[in-house]
Every structure is written in C-alpha cells, then in structure tokens.
Chain A
Amino acid sequence: MSNSKQAELASAQVFSMLLGAVGLTVLPHAWNLSWDIFLGFFVLWSWRCIGVWRPRYLPSKALLFAVTLLSLGFLYSQHQGVFGRDAGTRIFVIALGLKLLEIKTIRDVQLTVNFAFIIAATLFLYQQSLLMAAYIIVVCLSLLMTLNAIHSKITDVMLLARCVGVMLLQALPVCIALFVLFPRLEAPRWAFLNERTLTKSGLSDTLEPGSITDLGLSDELVFRVKFTGSRPPPDELYWRGPVFSHTDGKHWTPSLSNKARRHPDDLRFAGNSYNYTLLLEPQSKPWVFALDMPASLAPNLVMNADYQLITTVNPEQRAEYALRSYPHYNTGVLPPIEAQENLALPQTISPEIKNLVGELAGFTQPPAVFIQAVLRYFREQPFYYTLSPPLMVEHPIDTFLFQTRTGFCSHYATAFVYLLRVAKIPARVVSGYQGGKLNAIGEFLEIRQADAHAWAEVWLAGQGWVRFDPTAAVAPERIQQGVNIDMQLASGTVNFSLFDAAAQHGVLAQWYQTLRQGWQNVDYSWQRWVINYNTANQASFLQGLGMQDMATALRWLLISIALCTFSIFVFLMRRPVRVPDRALRHYQRFLRQLARHNLVCATGETASAFAQRVGEQLPACRAEVEQITQLYLQCRYGKQVEVAQLQTLAKLAAGFKLKA
C-alpha cells in the first residue's frame, strides 16, 4: 500500500526548504572544517540548488559515481582516518553533499533530514555556547518544517514555522525532565577519539622574567569561582599554580623532586575557611588553581608536594570542583631535601648582591626582620612596576636590582627569592593568579589570563611556608584593586582600577558594564548548569531533590514524562467553548453590572422582558441594553451565528456602564 506513497517525488517547495535547512546546518562548520571540505560541500549544495529549477543540470548516474569516487579520493588524501571528531564530521558533511545530489523521492528527503540532524550535533562538539544552542534550535525548526511540509502540504512558511514551533515548545517539558533525570554515565576516554586542541595561552612551567619585554595579556577566561558564604578580601585571593624551586640564575623551574615526594601530612589549618566551587575552563595543563591553601579535595584531584592541585582527568574538558580553603595554615617541618632545593643557588653570586644582603642585615638578623628589610628596600628605592620591562639577558637578577629596577611580578618575586636564598632562608617562587573580577549580578569571580601573577613563599621556623608578595610592596594597588584588564588591553599600559571605569565614561559605559556582567552571568549559569551537568553534578543535584539512587531518579523520570504527555494530551484535546456558552458568559457579565444597581433578572423573566424593564427604569441606557440583549439572543439561540456578532457582544458587555 505504501510503495506508491513512498516513491512520491518531492516538490520544488520541499526541495528548497530542505536545501535551506541543510545549508543552515552546515554553515557554522566554516570555522571548524578545513576550507576545501567546506567549499566542496557548498559546491555540491549549489549544484543541487540549481537542479531544483533546472533539473537537466543534475548529474547523471555515471557522473554522480565519478563525483563520489573523486570525493572519496579527496577525503583519503587528507589522511585523517575515519574516527574522531574532525574526521567524522568531514565524512558526514561530504556524504550529505553527495546525498543531496541524488535526492528524488520523499524518502530521500527524510533520510537527508536525519543526516542533517547528526551534522547539527557535530556542531556541538566544537562549540557549546548559548548562542550555538540557539542557532541549533533554528536549524531544528527549519529541518522539521521540511518534514511538516511533506506531510501537511502547507505552503505558507510562517504557518509551517508556527506549527513546528508549537510542537517544539510542547516537547520542551519532556526534554527538560530527560535532561535532569536521564542517567549520565561517565564514558571511557577513547584514545582514538581524543583530539589535539589548540594550545591555550596560560601559565608556563618555566619562569624566565629577564627574557620577556612585553607581557602579552589576554582577557581569556581561565576559571570562575563562586563562594558559598563569605568572600575573602582581595589581598587573600591568591590562586595557587606551579611552584618554582629550581633556578640557574636565569630560568626558574619546578622542583626536580616534587614528583617523587608526597605532600607532607602535617599541614594544619586555623581560623575560618572559605567554601567555593571552581569552574575551570579547558586547560592544556592539569593544574587546578585553588585558593591558598586548599584543604578538602574534590574527587579526581590530587595535591602534589608543592601543595598544588593536579587533576587526574582530561584537563581539556571544562570541569567543576567543590573546594575548601583556609587562609591561615601551617605547613610544619621542612624535609631536608626540600630545604636543600629551596636554598640552592647557581655557583656564582655577585659581590653586589652579597653587599646588598649584608646591608639589609641578612646575615645577622632573624629572617622575619630581613624579609621586612627587603620589602622596605623595594618600596623605598625607585622600583617601578611595568608590563613592558627592558630585556635582561645576562645576570637578570643583578640587572634588575641595580640597573633597570623596572619589571612585573615575576621580576620582583624572583629577585626576592634570590636575595633570601643568599641569606640562607629557604624560599621559592609561586605562580598562579591573583585577584579576579567580581560579577555583581551572579556574585562570582572571573579570573582571566591577565590576572596571572607570581609571588614568593618563604619557609619560617614554626610557621612553615609563608606567602610574601614583593609586588605588593612596589604596587600595592595591583593586589588591592586588581588589574583593569579592559584599559590595559586598550592602552597597553598598566592601569589599576583605582576608579571605576564607569565613573570615567559616564552612563553609557555603566550600562555597557551592567549588560556585559549580565551576559557573563547568563553564560556562567549556562556553563555551570547545562554544559557541565555531569555524573557528579547530577548525583549531587538529585540528592538535593531527595533522590538517593539512580533507580529512584529513573522512576521519577518515567512519572514526569507520563505527566507531561498527559497534560499535553489534555491540552490538545480540549474542547473549545461553544458559541452559545460564550454568549451566555458575556451576557452574565452584563447582568452582574446591572445587579450592582439592584436590577436583577427575576426567575422566569425572559431576557427581552428584563431588557424592557431596565429600559423603562433607565431610559438613558435603553438603546444599549436592547442591543446587547438582541445580540445575546441571536448568538445564543440563532441558527447562523457570525463571529463578528459574538465579538460585538463581548465588546459591548465589557464596556457596559450604567448611566444615571
């Protein structure tokens, strides 16, 4: 029975809708695919478009076969294999282009629509922003409109869009229920599917302050932090990254032994704590930047011997960690190997440095006094903070301390540590991020690449490792206020946000700022609640709802789907109120208006008799009352009722006011 139906040829309208929808689907891949694949697809697509109006230009079977072979050869020549995101997308896109050329029947159209849905899904493998999701909704709408056009024979595009739009809206409750409750299983990481992503700019695992003349800053987001409870003051916002213990005088690298050592267990905390969730953007290195000093570890995290958090899962995926940190802590004793590492200096120490340490009483006074003396030295001598320091190739520490005296955080931190080591005090450089910008709407901190920072840690007897930030001595605003990234990026110079940007630029800038923060807040929620809703998040969220295990969640899933379906069914099958009932409703409204003035229709009194009585008592309203009654009787009991009559009745009854 259905053979004749399924061989039905697609009409030109269906074709143009399909081609439009498919074009929309593939378009964003311009950013993801190599240009030749993208171009190849759109050549095939255009060929098909021409074919809608000029069918004789479509390829014959032989030509199509040749084109297919050519495409296969082309794909093979790119040596990308068949597995993985890029290769898969490439194959699907070209296959879709070839399929377009041979579409004839309705069945082909339906197959192509399914194909296009898979292409739409591959778009999500490249970008998961809110905008992309909105775009995919449009793509879905256009693909489904094509299907609907086949099976409804509607030609009006707006009507089709409405029809499908309503259906998508009705599908939304089930979709949300499934999203929340459908069990998320952690997929094993397939080696062949892993893609090499672009190396992200970020913290490096070596530090070489002398070789940098211009610190490239970007406003690229690194992570976002939301505190539950109180937020620490700005001068406690040190996000710990790699620690540099080893130096040859120019390069600073992490301790050679920290991989071998376990972190000591005698880390003790004191005072208040901060609880927060950290949403880390994709990284190239497995470093998790926790607030100094992290106490409770989220799963998938380990702490190395330098108290730095390392993730055990793929850092190239966005991840969320619930953490707790204490600003006050004591790291306890220093193992001998660590003491040795953090005192080590290159063979030759210049006499100027020795002199300086001697001047600052480094060899005579206790460490605490010497440290204060060094900080005072930085503060009182003409040291300047800049992001574009001169190049210091040979003996960078000497050059910085005695000649240029300009630099950024890494210069100060390395020089500080160097001086302390000369004075036989264990010290090391810590890199990470400092500060962060508060999003007032979402109340979370955003930490960007430009917030990268380096500071020093000194081991003091009885206190353990203690943080000192020599940059704060030179430029305390850097620590107190943070960096004004917008200004810095615009002018290329350091600008601490002493004044609110809005105060300088007036109302418009303020609006812009609010709008931007609002959008960033939406984006944060999107990342946190949608993109990053994984196994762990789901478990904790469901536990918050009182669902302890997956079986309960599944039961609730079925219940909610049934409920949604039933409500939509009731909504779809509702009977419209019939015209006579609607007329009665309007008339009753009119009666209520009269009843306020003690004019009540007596039992048994007909509508016309009542109207006459009202007319006699209130001659001013007679015409209106009679008109309403007339219309009511017509609509309620008449045989042929026009919609206009009912509308007039509704308008009159609603606008009826007694005139004395």
Chain B
Amino acid sequence: MSGLGKFWRELQAHPRLSRFFLGEAPSKTAIHLNHRRIFIVPTRQGFGFLLLIVVLLLIGFVYNNNLTYLLAFLLIGLVIVTILHTFRSLSGLLLTLGSAKPVFVGERANLPLYIENPSQVKRYHLEVSLEEQVFVGVEAMSVQQVNVYSTTLQRGWHQCGTIRLTSRFPLGLFRAWSLLRFACPVLVYPKPAVSGLAFPEQASGEGQQGQARRGGVEDFYGLLEYRAGDAIKHIHWKSYAKAQGLFTKHYSHFQASALTLDYAYTPGYGVEERVSQLCRWVMDAEACGRPYSLSLPGLTLPPGCGERHYASCLQALALF
C-alpha cells in the first residue's frame, strides 16, 4: 500500500507528468491559458453520450436505418465540436492573483483572482476551486474578480496552493481544466495568545514610571504635526476639517511609557508559545495606543506606534 503511495508521489513529481498533476511552476506574473496549460477529458456524462452513440449505431445497423445512422453521426460530429468549444471556454484567459492582506494563523486568506477575457467570446460558468468552488462568468473584453480562500496553518509565508479553473461548457460532455500556481505568498502572522497576561512593564526601568502614571488621567500633551506612522485614532480631525493641516494628539505618558516587548523575557514554553504571546501584546498595545518596541534574537525594532510599526512588528514575528 505504501509502495503504491510512493509510486503515486513519484509519478506526480515526474518531470514530464508534474504539469498534469500539479500545474506549471508557480508564476509571478499573469498566467496566459494556452494549449500547454489546458487539459481536457470526457466527463462521466461524456462517456454516457459515447455509449448513446454506440447504441444509436447498433439500432441503425440492426434495422438498416440510414437516418438513425445519420443521427449517430451528427452526435459524433457534435462531440468533436464540443471538445473544441470546451477548450475555447478556457483558452486565451489571462489570470492574475492579487496580493492578499496578511492574516493570522487559522484565518483564511482572501486571495483576489482576476480573470481577464481579452477575446470577443463570453466565458460561461467557469468553476474556480481552491478549497471550495465558486462559479463565475466572464463577459467578452472584461475582467472579473473572484475571491478564493485559503486556510493558513503556519505562520510565515503561505503559498496558497494550486487553484483549479474548470469548464464544462457547453454540454458537459468534457471537462477542461487548468492548474494555476502563483508565486504570490500570503504573510501569515502568528496566532495571538489568549489575552489575560499583563504587559511586561517590569522588563525595563522606564516601565515603573509608566506603571505609576498608568492609573492617572491620561494628560493631553499637545498637538504635533502628523508624521507617518502616527495612529489614525489620534489624528486631530477637527483641525483637519478646518483645513489647518494634519495634526496628531499626543499624550504626556506616551513618551514615558513605551513598552519593551522582548522575546527573552516572554513567558511560555517553546518558540511558538512565546511568539504567540508577543503577538498578543503587540495587538493589545496597538489597540490602546501605547508605543512599543520589539526585540527578537537578532532583530530589534525601535519603539513606535501606528499601522506601519504594527505591521512590521507582526511581520517580524511571523517570519521569526
């Protein structure tokens, strides 16, 4: 049994056959569907239709009936024409995979697949399948976006696997399909730990000061001109509305109470648990607007706050 499985894997990896089982090598650019990429086989219904033709030929033979023969021949011609039409329903399409937003482990990455139809012929009822099937039609000379979802299991760069584009148009006698692999990885952040553990204030000297102030009222420190990376929720929209420019509200404790999130001082067994905990802290700190720095073995990100800082911290955690 295992021998058969091994044989199967070897067959799939065979340099000449891998195209059939796995698709072409992952592509960074748009994929153009041509005869190299489109495969076509009869469906179950197609085999049924062939059986029907044999039955008609038999009736024609037994009863010496030329019109029954003619009907069978018409259906043979139709089968041949159907192969061409089924091929054409995929041929010439241009496929591009858009970049997906990073997700946390366990979430499903939402990948936008753009199907461009540069021809004058409408494509009907294409089946796009990765983990589930979506049906879509593409008008002539237009682009259609389809969202495919891919479940992530591990932090880091996630390859979304092979997307299969299938068409049974026009009569369902044949199935044409193309296997699409894109070199378009999705960044997967670590799974955040269950919240509950307090911020590691004791980790540095400044932490004490921050702790003292934490109970008090957050003092408004003043408006400073907006710098890239400032949190959106601290933008002073009133002055922006008055067209005075973009300012950010700053609070006095911000400067003082920057968190230091250090891998070395993070509790937890093993790498994953610690990374999860760090991830949770980064999320929490970002949520309440406290600046934070992140230090991992071999990498230290300076204290900061805002979308960009948040993203680079999570990326660092994802790829650590």
Q: Which of B52, B72, B135 contacts A153 (CB 8 A)?
A: B135
Interface centre among B55, B62, B137, B170 (most CB of A within 10 A): B170
- Binary CB contact string for chain A from 123 to 144 against chain B (1 if under 8 A, 0 otherwise): 0110010001100100010001
Nearest chain A residue, comparing its CB with the CB of B43: A2
B39 at the interface (CB under 8 A from A): no
Enumerate chain A residues within 8 angstroms of B171, measured Cβ to Cβ: 144, 147-148, 151
Do B125 and A174 have beta carbons less than 8 Å apart? no
B189 at the interface (CB under 8 A from A): no
Q: Return A103 CB to nearest CB of chain B, in Å.
A: 15
Enumerate chain A residues within 8 angstroms of B65, measured Cβ to Cβ: 124-125, 128
Q: Which of A110, A124, A170 contacts B68 (CB 8 A)?
A: A124
Do B77 and A114 have beta carbons less than 8 Å apart? no
- Binary CB contact string for chain B from 62 to 85 against chain A (1 if under 8 A, 0 otherwise): 111111111111111110111011
Do B67 and A175 have beta carbons less than 8 Å apart? no
- Binary CB contact string for chain B from 34 to 59 against chain A (1 if under 8 A, 0 otherwise): 00000000001100110110011001
A576 at the interface (CB under 8 A from B): yes
Enumerate chain B residues within 8 angstroms of A317, measured Cβ to Cβ: 64
B162 at the interface (CB under 8 A from A): no
Do B49 and A114 have beta carbons less than 8 Å apart? yes
Do A171 and B88 have beta carbons less than 8 Å apart? no
Do B69 and A182 have beta carbons less than 8 Å apart? yes
Enumerate chain B residues within 8 angstroms of A110, measured Cβ to Cβ: 45, 48, 172
Secondary structure call for the B interface: helix
Q: Tell me the complex Cα distance, A4–B59, Å.
A: 35
Do A193 and B63 have beta carbons less than 8 Å apart? yes
B120 at the interface (CB under 8 A from A): yes
Q: Return B320 CB to nearest CB of chain A, in Å.
A: 37
A185 at the interface (CB under 8 A from B): yes
B21 at the interface (CB under 8 A from A): no
Q: Which of B78, B88, B91 contacts A168 (CB 8 A)?
A: B78
A421 at the interface (CB under 8 A from B): no
Given A1-B129, A153-B137, A168-B74, check contact A174 B80 (CB 8 Å). Answer: yes
Q: Return B48 CB to nearest CB of chain A, in Å.
A: 6
B199 at the interface (CB under 8 A from A): no
Do A5 and B133 have beta carbons less than 8 Å apart? yes
A101 at the interface (CB under 8 A from B): no
Q: Tell me the complex Cα distance, A171–B62, Å.
A: 25
Do B172 and A179 have beta carbons less than 8 Å apart? no
Do A175 and B76 have beta carbons less than 8 Å apart? yes
Q: Which of B67, B82, B91, B168 contacts A128 (CB 8 A)?
A: B67
B310 at the interface (CB under 8 A from A): no
A644 at the interface (CB under 8 A from B): no
Q: Which of these binds chain B: A223-231, A325-333, A526-534, A603-611?
A: A526-534
Do B61 and A185 have beta carbons less than 8 Å apart? yes
Enumerate chain A residues within 8 angstroms of B62, measured Cβ to Cβ: 187, 190, 193
Given A147-B171, A153-B125, check contact A124 B85 (CB 8 Å). Answer: no
Q: Tell me the complex Cα distance, A136–B124, Å.
A: 28
Do B172 and A167 have beta carbons less than 8 Å apart? no
Enumerate chain B residues within 8 angstroms of A568, measured Cβ to Cβ: 80-81, 84
Nearest chain B residue, comparing its CB with the CB of A531: B66
Interface centre among A111, A122, A171, A182 (most CB of B within 10 A): A171
Instruction: Give A538-575 interface residues, CB cut-off 8 Å to B.
Output: 561, 564-565, 568-569, 572-573, 575
Do A147 and B137 have beta carbons less than 8 Å apart? no
A522 at the interface (CB under 8 A from B): no
Q: Tell me the complex Cα distance, A120–B75, Å.
A: 13
Instruction: Give B164-179 interface residues, CB cut-off 8 Å to A.
Output: 168-172
Interface centre among B75, B129, B135 (most CB of A within 10 A): B75
Q: Tell me the complex Cα distance, A120–B63, Å.
A: 15
Nearest chain A residue, comparing its CB with the CB of B172: A151
Enumerate chain B residues within 8 angstroms of A133, measured Cβ to Cβ: 67, 70
B142 at the interface (CB under 8 A from A): no
Nearest chain B residue, comparing its CB with the CB of A185: B61
Instruction: Give A1-44 interface residues, CB cut-off 8 Å to B.
Output: 1, 4-6
A117 at the interface (CB under 8 A from B): yes
A154 at the interface (CB under 8 A from B): yes
Given A110-B48, A118-B52, check contact A182 B73 (CB 8 Å). Answer: yes
Q: Tell me the complex Cα distance, A133–B49, Å.
A: 21
Do A572 and B172 have beta carbons less than 8 Å apart? no
Q: Return B45 CB to nearest CB of chain A, in Å.
A: 5
Nearest chain A residue, comparing its CB with the CB of B46: A110
Nearest chain B residue, comparing its CB with the CB of A148: B170
Enumerate chain B residues within 8 angstroms of A148, measured Cβ to Cβ: 170-171
Given A147-B172, A533-B66, check contact A174 B55 (CB 8 Å). Answer: no
A121 at the interface (CB under 8 A from B): yes
Interface centre among A111, A175, A184, A531 (most CB of B within 10 A): A175
Enumerate chain A residues within 8 angstroms of B48, measured Cβ to Cβ: 110-111, 114
Q: Return A287 CB to nearest CB of chain B, in Å.
A: 21
Q: Tell me the complex Cα distance, A179–B52, Å.
A: 18
Interface centre among A147, A533, A561 (most CB of B within 10 A): A147
- Binary CB contact string for chain A from 185 to 200 against chain B (1 if under 8 A, 0 otherwise): 1110010010000000
Enumerate chain B residues within 8 angstroms of A440, measured Cβ to Cβ: none
Q: Tell me the complex Cα distance, A451–B141, Å.
A: 68
A152 at the interface (CB under 8 A from B): yes
Instruction: Give A350-408 interface residues, CB cut-off 8 Å to B.
Output: none
Given A110-B45, A151-B125, A152-B169, check contact A561 B67 (CB 8 Å). Answer: no
Instruction: Give B83-142 interface residues, CB cut-off 8 Å to A.
Output: 84-85, 88, 91, 119-120, 124-125, 127, 129, 133, 135, 137
Instruction: Give B256-315 interface residues, CB cut-off 8 Å to A.
Output: none
A150 at the interface (CB under 8 A from B): yes
Do B71 and A534 have beta carbons less than 8 Å apart? no
Q: Tell me the complex Cα distance, A569–B80, Å.
A: 10
Do A573 and B80 have beta carbons less than 8 Å apart? no
Nearest chain A residue, comparing its CB with the CB of B53: A117
Enumerate chain A residues within 8 angstroms of B66, measured Cβ to Cβ: 128, 179, 530-534
Interface centre among B51, B76, B81, B125 (most CB of A within 10 A): B81
A424 at the interface (CB under 8 A from B): no
Do A172 and B77 have beta carbons less than 8 Å apart? yes
Q: Tell me the complex Cα distance, A187–B73, Å.
A: 18
Interface centre among A4, A174, A564 (most CB of B within 10 A): A174
Q: Tell me the complex Cα distance, A521–B102, Å.
A: 76
Interfacial residues, chain A to chain B (CB-CB below 8 A): 1, 4-6, 85, 107, 110-111, 114, 117-118, 120-122, 124-125, 128, 132-133, 136, 140, 144, 147-148, 150-154, 163-164, 167-168, 170-176, 178-179, 182, 184-187, 190, 193, 317, 530-534, 561, 564-565, 568-569, 572-573, 575-576
Q: A5-B133, A171-B78 are in contact. List 7 more A-B contacts (CB 8 A).
A: A107-B44, A121-B68, A148-B171, A163-B170, A178-B73, A531-B67, A534-B64
Pick 17 A–B contacts, CB within 8 A, sort by A.
A85-B63, A110-B172, A117-B75, A147-B171, A153-B124, A153-B125, A154-B124, A168-B74, A171-B74, A174-B77, A175-B74, A179-B69, A530-B67, A532-B66, A565-B80, A565-B84, A572-B88
